[in-house]
Chains A and B, each alone.
Chain A
Amino acid sequence: MKNESDILDKTKGGKIPFALPDGYFDNFTSELDKKIQFEMESKRMKKETKDVKIKSLYNYVRPWAYVAAAVALLVFCVQLIISNQETLEASQEKTEINNVNSELLYTHLDDESIMDYLISEEE
């Protein structure tokens, strides 16, 4: 019967029982090099595509942003003008009503009362 450690003793520290193709490690380095170059190129292209996407999105949005800003400004100005006009009209209307009221008032008064009123105003 064999000693239990026979095989382990005989093989320990011996040559590893595997062979390699000739020049394997030189070829491995250059093969790996190609893959790394490819990875670097893909990464660079990915970054460029991302930058272009962001840039094109910005270029697409920019004119619309200008249009939106112009429309908003226009709406604001129109609203301001309408609001001013309404205030002016309301003020004119009030003046007219006052004038009309004075005229109406005068037509219902006799000359003596008007004269008294005007004299009292002057005093």
Chain B
Amino acid sequence: MFQEEDIIKDLKDENRRYQAFSTLVKEYQKQLYWLIRKMVLSHEDTNDILQNTFLKAWNGIDSFRGEAKISTWLHRIAINETFTFLANAELKNTQNMTDLEDVLVQNLKSDNYFSGDDLQLKLQKAILSLPPKQRLVFNMKYYEDRKYEEMEEILGTSVGALKASYHHAVKKIENFILMDD
């Protein structure tokens, strides 16, 4: 069974670090995968970002002081990696005079690993119209039903601001869908 305190202790011990990190990967890989996947949509990109996330965590173990939970620390790394990926993709698409959201939707349509129907595709298009951070807030609440307090810890945004952000996101999505009909 996963015991956070034991894992932290083992991560500090160079002889046990590798084993402890493997346990950590097994514990959080799915959670982080879906968090990233809902942001970048493509499985291949998600795979790359997830690998980078764990590699950064591995290389940064010494900087983890145990002030935050391991899950919070890993989520923050994953989110940073995801935002960096999106910013780079945005820059690349701006240079090519294309819209990142359009490219992501087109990729999603032809993605073998997208199993949604037209309704789901429409929702994904609407979610993509949100700014990245609002999209993240929406995904965490709508799909994962996370507590605002947990989101506050990970994102460093107050509960009030998160509630407002989610509420606005819902409104924007609803309007987008209505306009798209």
Contacts and interface: CB of A to CB of B under 8 A. Distances in A.
Interface of A: 2, 4-5, 7-8, 10-13, 15-21, 25, 28-29, 31-33, 35-36, 39-40
A28 B54 CA distance: 11
Given A7-B126, A13-B145, A31-B51, 11 more contacts: A7-B122, A8-B123, A10-B119, A17-B124, A19-B112, A19-B113, A19-B114, A25-B29, A28-B47, A35-B51, A36-B55
Contacts of B128: none
Given A7-B122, A8-B142, A28-B29, A17 B116 contact: yes
SS class, residues of chain B in contact with chain A: helix
A33 B24 CA distance: 12
A37 B37 CA distance: 26
Contacts of A39: 55, 58-59
Contacts of A33: 22
Interface residues of B, number: 42
Interface in B45-99: 47, 50-51, 54-55, 58-59
A17 B114 contact: yes
Nearest to B116: A17
A32 B25 contact: yes
Contacts of A10: 119
